[in-house]
Amino acid sequence: MEHTAMEMTATDRPGLMSEISAVLAELGCHVSGAVAWTHNKRAACIVYMEDDLKHGPIMDPYRVAQIQAQLENVVEAHHYEGERRTVRLAAPAASQTHTERRLHQLMAADRDYEQCCSCGYDSSGDDVAHRQKKGSNSTEVKIENCKEKGYSIVTVRSMDRPKLLFDTICTLTDLQYVVFHASISSFESIAIQVIFYFCPLYLTAPAKS
């Protein structure tokens, strides 16, 4: 069955999803499913809904605009001025992307990684990765080019966590690369090494050795 999807990115605050559910119920929307991710005090959520009376996707443009306006008011009430947030109602055809794949895209667009202590620079401008090199928990990325076979080898060493491989594959896909092979090894669930062989989408698959 087709559904209308609400996509939201916001600051992770208690009570937000409860109020969204209440507003949707008042507007005659039946929630058939919802999935949310949180990271670094940010949240991304996809809510699948249908018309409570017609038992199908919400197609009336006026009603879609009304629902989105109400949801934007709810989300805005949970944020301070200047805090970034987005609310979008997606048409049924646009909501067919795999849910977790879409959540990854929403979180990446929301820049949830900016406050990650293991990459880039902190608010003082210091190189955080450089300061953490002495520790065993730092993230290390190595890229090697194999010109004769037309692909690259990416080695990632980091803390092991759920969905690490999924997030890495999604990131490479968003960068227009195709993964042809990957191998993973872990030790005591602390560190994980991921090796990828990939090439741009416009190139053919690398030759087998």
Mean per-residue pLDDT, 74-95: 83
Token pair for 147: 């010109």
Give pTM, 2 decimals.
0.68
Write out the E strands in 91-202. 140-146, 151-159, 177-187, 191-200
Q: Is 4 exposed, middle or buried (0-12, 13-18, 19+ CB in 10 A)?
A: buried
Instruction: For 157-182, write each residue's pLDDT tens digit.
Output: 888 887 788 888 888 888 888 888 78
Task: Give the chain's domains with CATH numbers.
Answer: 4-115 (3.30.70.260), 132-200 (3.30.70)
pLDDT at residue 128 tops 50: no
77: confidence class by pLDDT, cuts 50, 70, 90: very high
